[in-house]
Amino acid sequence: MKALHFGLVVMGCVVCLAGCQDSAKPSLDNWLLVSFAEGVPITYKMVSERKTEIDMTTGDPKKKSRPQTTTEKLELVMVYTPVEVDPFGLSTLKVDCQSVKVTRSGFSGKRSASDAMKSLTGQSFTLKLTPTGKIADISDLERIAKELGAASFSDRKKGTRIKNPDMIGDFLAMQRYLWNAGATISNQLNLRVGDTWQSQQSIPWPVPIYPPPARMTTYTLDSISDNDEQPRKAAITSVYTLSETPIQEYIRPYEKGKFQMRGMFGFLRNFQFKHLAGGGKQLFNMDDGLVESDTQQYLLNVNATFMLPLGDSLPVLTVDQKISIERIESN
């Protein structure tokens, strides 16, 4: 079995300089570099859950609305198996979906149609990563996303396509979140505890919008454990704000054309993303070169309008989003 560390390329270039560096310089051991062993699977449990509350605003402060709430939860077990590890170029991971579970409560209380994400069970796709862990080739992920997107539509009704609720956006976001913290560091060589860096990321949203809403994530290398009897772990905190510029890189799962959303979101239009605030924490095992866990939570405030005007009433949405990624034992 061949285990290759992605950092070997850069390590080899700078190791000869290590003895010439000032002792105050950061240690090479502080690099957050991913590491894979060819053929050895890595398994993660991924969970995305969202509570959306819709309230009404009116011109009369004496009028009070009764907020409505919907909840969605996606649970995945994903297995990443390195099939080709190349420290000088792109490494290929075969990604298998071991299980999918989706639970949802609608505004009406009625049972919703089956989520298209359930069709991912037993399917696979490949990812190609650079030596720093950045996803370099998403073509096969795009393929699987389009298959899932096609599965989210019901039969046409009077010539109109009907789209069922799905959590495809949550699945796609978590594939990027897993690798993004380390992959977006601009200079690993000078990385120190307390350093910060930023990344623009798309966020899950239940309605197809292009470009999708995005957040600006500010990462901070908060600490590195120094217990000699335990694996060295880096704690990376994150703070989220609403991105001020449209995101350029995203996957479009659905075919172009008109369609009608099923449920309450089918009656809403003109979404305006007003505010986003939250944070998270990631634990990175520096000895294994892999993410151990990642937790995120944020609140998103959104204004909208109704498809048909309802006087001076306007919908206001508050979204409580939680995401967790945890490395678990492979079967």
Domain layout of the chain by residue ranges: 3-328
pLDDT band for position 320 (50/70/90)?
A: very high
Nearby residues of 129 by Cβ (< 8 Å), 6 or more positions away: 6, 34, 90, 91, 93, 135, 136, 179
Q: Is the pLDDT of residue 27 over 90?
A: no
H helices then E strands: how many in the chain? 3, 16
Question: What is the H or E stretch that residue 147 is in?
Answer: helix 139-151
DSSP 202: E
According to DSSP, residue 102 is labeled E
- Does residue 175 register a pLDDT over 50? yes
Give the pLDDT confidence score for residue 295 in this predicted structure.
99
Q: Would you state the pLDDT for residue 108? A: 60
Give the lowest-confidence range in 180-194, 211-225, 304-318: 304-318
Q: H/E element holding 177?
A: helix 168-183
- For residue 188, what pLDDT band results from cuts at 50, 70 and 90? confident
Q: Taking the C-alpha atoms of 262, 266, 267 and 270 in order, what is their torsion angle to the nearest 10 degrees?
A: 170
Query: Which range in 65-74, 217-226, 251-260, 307-316 is most confidently predicted, on average pLDDT?
Result: 217-226
pLDDT of residue 305: 92
pLDDT at 316 over 80: yes
Predicted confidence (pLDDT) at residue 160 exceeds the cutoff of 90: no
Give me the mean pLDDT over the 274-291 stretch.
Answer: 96
Q: Is the pLDDT of residue 114 over 60?
A: yes
Rounded Cα–Cα distance for residues 299 and 277 (Å): 6
pLDDT for the residue 6: 44
Mean local confidence (pLDDT), 28-39: 81
Give the whole-angstrom CA distance, residue 54 versus residue 75. 24
281 within 8 A of 224, measured Cβ to Cβ: no
Average of pLDDT values for 107-124?
Answer: 83
Helix axes 139-151, 168-183, angle to 10 degrees: 160
Most confident of 58-62, 97-101, 207-211: 97-101
What does CATH list as the number for 3-328?
Answer: 2.30.230
Assess whether pLDDT exceeds 90 at residue 128.
yes
> How would you classify the pairing of strands 124-129 and 135-137?
antiparallel
Residue 88 makes CB contacts below 8 A (sequence gap 6+) with 9, 131
Contact 322, 75 (CB under 8 A): no
Q: Which residue has the higher pLDDT, 220 or 256?
A: 220
Q: Are 146 and 138 in contact (CB under 8 A)?
A: no
